[in-house]
Amino acid sequence: MTYKTLTAASVAALMLGTAGASADTWRYAFEEQLEEVQGIFAQKFKEEVEANSDHEVQLFPFGTLGESADIMEQAQSGLIQFVDQSPGFTGALIPEAQVFFVPYLLPENQDALFSFFRNSKTIKELFPPLYAEQGLELLTMFPEGEVVMTTQEPVTSPEDLNEVKFRVMTNPLIVESYQAFGATPTPLPWGEVYGAMQTGIIQGQENPAFFVESTNMYEVTDHITRLGHNNFTTAVMANLDFYEGLPDEDKQVVQDAIQASFDYILEYQDGLTEQSLANIMEAKPSMTITELTEEQRAPFRATAESVEAEFLEIGGDQAQAILDQMKADLEAASEAAN
């Protein structure tokens, strides 16, 4: 049985049949493999929880329980206790989470970026009630790395994206953003991307360099473009009823494990993008990597205003409050980094 054929009933059966799992086993699903960034975070979380409590954490990497949308449903229904789902997919459920797709909103400077994620009032105070409305306790958000474009033809300007079917995650604002970049956005779940690229259904996609390397995306694209428009953000959540039902002691175990994993994953990313790009070049010397100049970035940057306006239209009741707080947080983060 592949993940594509898993039904709700078969997932339930799989869960009930999990060998050795006790009532104290916490199930944690994520959208990547064990050795990818979300997997490294999850492994650290498991290690911390198990070192500091009697609970066991069972990890479910991408594909074992379905696509990103499936694991979110399982977390909301309480079939699993923890889930890592990126706002790229959560945008359909929590429209405000689409704010992460306003291009050039997050800083390129790593100190400022990390300071934002460490201290953001948007993440710590404004988002949690919105996630709670969907039956989720938002535990943390963290960055996974600079997003790069990989395409079959070189890209240095929006004109080069003309008629390029560009795969994006499934939320309306990222569709808007790639339309503004000049491409033909094609929302797809991750599991379909490699095949779609191989068969020519799409000709481009974006992701952090580590993911381009680990998923062999460089095999089916020839050009990498760094335009500095975003950093890949993800979020870790717990089922709300499960979390609220935990004794204070266990809540503390979860919070401590999240904090330790958060610190660990920021450190883990030091140099990761450059190393991944070097590995890609070694695996495929014909690949080109182009870092756009400020001049070349200008027309991409110019789209930010219209995408931001669209966010205010489609980003839910709290869109304005989220955007305002996010800008205040980002300003504080860039001051802290200077």
In terms of Cβ atoms closer than 10 Å to its own Cβ (0-12, 13-18, 19+), residue 307 is buried
Could you tell me if 168 and 185 are in contact, meaning their C-beta atoms sit under 8 angstroms apart? yes
Taking CB under 6 A as the criterion, the residue among 186, 207, 230, 325 binding ligand 6CS is 207
Residue 176 CB, nearest approach to ligand 6CS (Å): 17
> Is residue 151 at the binding interface for ligand 6CS, with CB under 6 A as the rule?
no
Residues 223-252 as x/- pattern, contact with ligand 6CS by CB under 6 A: ---------x--------------------
Nearest CA to 118 out of 99, 143, 137 is that of 143
Asked whether position 211 contacts ligand 6CS by CB under 6 A, the answer is yes
Binding residue for ligand 6CS, selected from 28, 131, 190, 300, defined by CB under 6 A:
190
**Under rule CB under 6 A, how many of the chain's residues touch ligand 6CS?**
11
Choices 48-56, 207-215, 239-247, 264-272 (CB under 6 A): range interacting with ligand 6CS:
207-215
Question: Using CB atoms within 10 A of its CB, is residue 176 exposed (0-12), middle (13-18) or buried (19+)?
Answer: buried
- What one-letter code names the amino acid at 80? I
The answer to whether 32 contacts ligand 6CS (rule: CB under 6 A) is yes
Structure tokens at 230: 């975003």
Task: Give the per-residue contact string, 70-99, with ligand 6CS (x = CB under 6 A; - = no).
Answer: ----------------x-------------
Query: Per-residue string for binding with ligand 6CS, 271-310, x by CB under 6 A?
Result: ----------------------------------------
Give the residue among 92, 46, 47, 45 at the shortest CA–CA distance from 69.
Answer: 92
Nearer to ligand 6CS, 53 or 114 (CB): 114
State which residue, 242 or 264, has the beta carbon closest to ligand 6CS: 264
- 68 lies in the binding site for ligand 6CS (CB under 6 A): yes
- Residue 234 Cβ vs ligand 6CS, minimum distance, rounded to whole Å: 7
136-151 and 184-187 beta bridge pairing: unpaired
Q: Least separation, in Å, of the C-beta of 81 and ligand 6CS?
A: 20
Could you tell me the maximum CA-CA distance found in the chain, to the nearest angstrom? Answer: 58
Tabulate helix, strand, coil % of the chain (nearest 5). Answer: 55, 20, 30
- C-beta closer to ligand 6CS: residue 72 or 326: 72
DSSP 122: I
Cβ 202 to ligand 6CS shortest distance, Å: 12
**DSSP H helical ranges for the chain:** 8-16, 37-52, 68-77, 87-90, 110-119, 121, 127-132, 172-180, 193-198, 209-214, 240-244, 248-268, 272-283, 294-301, 304-314, 319-337
Relative orientation angle of helices 172-180 and 304-314, to the nearest 10 degrees: 160
- Determine the interface stretch with ligand 6CS among 157-165, 206-214, 259-267, 298-306 (rule: CB under 6 A): 206-214
**Residue 10 CA: distances (Å) to CA of 14, 58, 61, 73:** 6, 18, 17, 14
The least distance separating ligand 6CS from the CB of residue 93, rounded to whole angstroms, comes to 15
- The footprint of ligand 6CS on residues 160-189 (CB under 6 A) is 169
Residue 208 within binding range of ligand 6CS, rule CB under 6 A: yes
Q: How far is the CB of 278 from ligand 6CS (least distance, A)?
A: 19
Structure tokens at 33: 């493999």
Query: By CB under 6 A, which span of 103-111, 205-213, 266-274, 328-336 interacts with ligand 6CS?
Result: 205-213
Q: What is the rounded CA–CA span in Å between residue 208 and residue 265?
A: 14
Binding site for ligand 6CS (CB under 6 A): 31-32, 68, 86, 144, 169, 190, 207-208, 211, 232
